[in-house]
Structure 1
Amino acid sequence: MTTHASDKGDFLAHFYSSHKVAQETIDHFRSQPWLHQYLDDPSYRAFRVLKDTGEDFFFARTIATPTTIPHILCLNNSTIVTPPELPAGTPIPVNDSRKPAPVPEKPDCIFLINLAGPAIDGHPHVCHGGIVASILDEAIGMVTMLHTEKANGLRELFYTVNLNVTYRAPVTTPSNVIVRCWLRARQGRKYIALGQIVDKDGVVLSEAQGTWG
């Protein structure tokens, strides 16, 4: 299918208008004062996760239940800038897992996530490591989607090529956390991005770097 210039320019406007957030989700996160700094940041726009293509169904429906993740909201930086493509053969940057990765002043996406439990627990009141990895996979994948569709208007399907997760501290339940994600680099069809799960005190609980292509 041919992609016209107007398709590219109108992509984000159409995306936001067709992915409105449920009021009950907004109300839930509004009840958490520490999240106001994200909800009220004029640099970000909110949208729901589920897309008409059926992508992200796991995130938006399968584990969106009262005992798993009842509320999730994504805030997208409306002025995201896609980094220039790395020349072929250039080493892809890798984060030093011994310490949390430095975060851009305005990450590309910030997810607000309500973790309910107990259905997502691996131990009592501790989120299962597989769920943590899935959250990071879905959230970081959303960032690559926004960058590719912002650039192209329409796109081919992208898949997770690899995902390296570092577990730094337990992700407790019930709790509200944020997941901040950003694109680090791109090379050909490969998009390299990072994400961090952070608690209300700013502690990085888990983080991941992955490649999509």
Structure 2
Amino acid sequence: MADTQDKRSDHEHFASIPWCARHLRGPRIITKSPECRLQKSNGEDSLYAETLKSHTTIMAMLEVYEEPPSPTDRVDSAKAFLTLGPGLNGHPDVCHGGIVVTILDEVIGFLIPINQERGHMPDLPYMTAYLNTKFLKPVPTCATILAQTRILKLEGRKLFAEAWIEDGDGKVLARAEALFIAIKSVL
């Protein structure tokens, strides 16, 4: 099955990078190919499943989170490893700022289906209301980065979260605060 192969190859890719491999170990660590990387017949997620899925854009991507002690507990944080190619350059060897924002937006979105399955969030589509981003240092291309996210607060249909991108040395390169809102109407 293609999903299994994608998961295995991306997992193997990041497991072969020592600083990434440290995040992939532990009895409750869950790793998977992000849903956004899978093509859907209705065109959903085309940006990540097609446009940003190549050897020159996002070469590999892996979603990682820790399974809470109880299957009904909320998952408050998640990570994504991404290997960025030169096709994302805004400046030589530097990821375009719009792509940096796109990565931060997507990693926050990882928390939604995980917590919907656990009954902590309404089973509705969520949209970004705002994503305030600070660019602290250039995000390199032809490099692997770590994007992390954390829930700050859940309030009815509102998800307040933060996300940040780090390099392999743990230096924070970009940071964002966001509000996602569950949409009542069908898109």
TM range (shorter): 0.7 to 0.9
Deviation track 1:104-148 (CA, whole Å, cap 9, x = no partner) reads xxx62111111111x110000000000000000011111133223
- Hey, what's the Cα distance between the residues in 1 that align with 2:43 and 2:104? 19
Residue 108, structure 1, aligned to residue 77, structure 2 = yes
Q: How does 1:149-188 map to 2 (within 5 A)?
A: 149-151=117-119, 155-188=123-156
CA 1:54/1:40 → structure 2, altered by over 3 Å: closer, same or farther?
farther
Residue 66, structure 1, aligned to residue 87, structure 2 = no
- Hey, what's the Cα distance between the residues in 2 that align with 1:174 and 1:74? 19
Residue 25, structure 1, aligned to residue 14, structure 2 = no
Per-residue deviation at 1:55? Answer: 4.3
2:28 corresponding residue in structure 1: 43
**Residue pair 1:121, 1:128 contacting (<8 A) in 2 also:** yes
TM-score with structure 1 setting the length: 0.73
Per-residue deviation at 1:36? Answer: 1.2
- SS of 1:114's equivalent in the other structure is strand
Per-residue deviation at 1:28? Answer: 1.3
Identity %: 30
Q: Which amino acid aligns with 1:41?
A: G
- Hey, what's the Cα distance between the residues in 2 that align with 1:45 and 1:78? 7
Query: How many pairs were matched up?
Result: 172
**Residue pair 2:34, 2:62 contacting (<8 A) in 1 also:** yes
- Hey, what's the Cα distance between the residues in 2 that align with 1:134 and 1:153? 22
- Hey, what's the Cα distance between the residues in 1 that align with 2:74 and 2:25? 24
CA 1:49/1:56 → structure 2, altered by over 3 Å: closer, same or farther?
farther
Per-residue deviation at 1:39? Answer: 1.2
* Pairwise CA RMSD: 2.4
**Residue pair 1:49, 1:60 contacting (<8 A) in 2 also:** no
Residue 130, structure 1, aligned to residue 98, structure 2 = yes
- SS of 1:172's equivalent in the other structure is coil
Greater Cα radius of gyration, structure 1 or 2: 1
- Hey, what's the Cα distance between the residues in 1 that align with 2:152 and 2:116? 13
Deviant stretches of 4+, over 4 Å: 51-55
> Please, which runs of 5 or more residues in structure 2 have no aligned partner?
182-187
Deviation track 1:124-181 (CA, whole Å, cap 9, x = no partner) reads 0000000000000011111133223321697111111111011000001111011111
- Hey, what's the Cα distance between the residues in 2 that align with 1:67 and 1:32? 19
- Hey, what's the Cα distance between the residues in 1 that align with 2:169 and 2:31? 23
- Hey, what's the Cα distance between the residues in 2 that align with 1:40 and 1:55? 31
Per-residue deviation at 1:54? Answer: 5.6
Q: Which amino acid aligns with 2:117?
A: E
User: 1 or 2, which has the higher strand percentage?
Assistant: 2
- Hey, what's the Cα distance between the residues in 1 that align with 2:139 and 2:164? 12
**Residue pair 1:82, 1:183 contacting (<8 A) in 2 also:** no
- Hey, what's the Cα distance between the residues in 1 that align with 2:90 and 2:58? 15
**Residue pair 1:127, 1:172 contacting (<8 A) in 2 also:** yes
